[in-house]
Chains A and B, each alone.
Chain A
């Protein structure tokens, strides 16, 4: 059974710092991996999707990498801003379209 963990559970950084969020999964037979952002009282918003054949995806200040063999993905946020404060969740998707979500990392960027 696929298990997804995220480290750290919470992170507080000053504005402008570059930071890395980590996602680990136990079964490397994945179809793709997605990173989501959740703001309080809102649903999840997809940030980046990495297909199993890809190594990384970039969108603006966000870069996500995928290493299937080691069961890891990282989300890199450059030049963090207070507006980046949210909970970030990763989800791995298998070929049966089963989504398994991590518990999330709660990020606070202090002005």
Chain B
């Protein structure tokens, strides 16, 4: 398996623009997480899906952020409109939940810079 695939790897955009980050989970994994990582705050959970259904979105900072998982093989995180304080590395991670011994697998992240 190619692992968790995220695109793009880097995104530079101007304040006010819409940004869409994409994630393809590992085949068979039924839970998907979106995280944001900054030097100041470390890893923060944004939202978590189980079987394509959002379970916990309490970490989504504002209404400007939205996430979807239309099927088991694709998820998006959208920021509209983007702001400079959204600059961070965004990670998607997936897991086969319910087994107790399945590790969490991360993608390589999308580095977002909003100017």
Contact = CB atoms under 8 A, between A and B. Distances in A.
Nearest to B106: A43
Interface in B3-49: 4, 31, 33, 42-43, 45, 48
Nearest to A44: B106
B43 A46 contact: no
Interface in A52-111: 89, 91, 97-99, 101, 103-104
Contacts of B93: 43-44
A91 B91 contact: no
B100 A97 contact: no
A34 interface: yes
Interface in B85-104: 91, 93, 95, 97, 100-104
**Interface size class for chain B?**
20 to 34
Contacts of A104: 42
Interface of B: 4, 31, 33, 42-43, 45, 48, 50, 56, 91, 93, 95, 97, 100-109, 111
29 contacts: A31-B100, A32-B100, A32-B101, A34-B104, A36-B104, A36-B106, A41-B108, A41-B111, A42-B108, A43-B4, A43-B93, A43-B106, A43-B109, A44-B104, A46-B103, A46-B105, A49-B102, A49-B103, A51-B100, A89-B43, A91-B104, A97-B31, A97-B95, A98-B56, A99-B33, A99-B104, A101-B42, A101-B43, A104-B42
Interface of A: 31-32, 34, 36, 41-46, 49, 51, 89, 91, 97-99, 101, 103-104
